[in-house]
Structure 1
Amino acid sequence: MRHQQTIATARGAAPGAGAAVRTVACEALFASELPLAGRLAADEINTAIRDALQLFGRRGCLERVAQEYGDHPDLAIARMRRAVAAVASCTPPEPG
């Protein structure tokens, strides 16, 4: 539960923000310097998300995602898939 709360609180989102929080987390993880190959510990994922948000801000993370999709679409797609999987591995599924 601690790791799930870290992702939500790192963004300052209200509990239950669900998909929006995960989206920001994925963008921040994508923008981070963390290599997304192999299995990652939840602490590594949360630290990378927190650090990227502190360094770039929400908008800056999104800008880095957009830049990579423009410059290297094939690599960006693969990195985002790994970011989504990593965030999903340490967050509960959306109810519904």
Structure 2
Amino acid sequence: MNSTAVKDLAAEALFVSYLQPSESPNRSAVEEAITAMILRYGSDGCAAGVAEEFGDHPEVAVRRMEWVQEELIDVLRMRAPALR
């Protein structure tokens, strides 16, 4: 699986998770939610959940995906190897 596919799966998993932006979750909570949703729904289930929300509530889904992308930037920045 390439890094773009991994990022997309993480975004979909966080999107369908129980976490809310109002909770201001820390990095650990975000990582745990991503893992839990992948284990629970798999990649296809996460993607289906995102598609359903965009179909049913597009204006809310757009705002949630924007939050998801911001959270993932922070998580991925913390995971990036230090350059020497």
Among 11, 35, 38, the alignment partner of 1:53 is: 38
TM-score (structure 1 length as normaliser): 0.74
CA RMSD of superposed structures (Å):
1.5
- Counting helix residues as a fraction of each chain, which structure ranks higher? 2
TM-score (structure 2 length as normaliser): 0.84
Structure 1 stretches (4+) deviating beyond 6 angstroms? none
Partner of 1:72: 57
Distance 2:60 2:38 in 1: 22
SS of residue paired to 2:15: helix
| Structure 1 residue 38 displacement after superposition | 5.3
Any unmatched runs of 5+ in structure 1?
1-12
Partner of 2:17: 32
Distance 2:75 2:57 in 1: 27
Q: How many residues align?
A: 78
Partner of 2:26: 41
Q: Percent identity?
A: 31
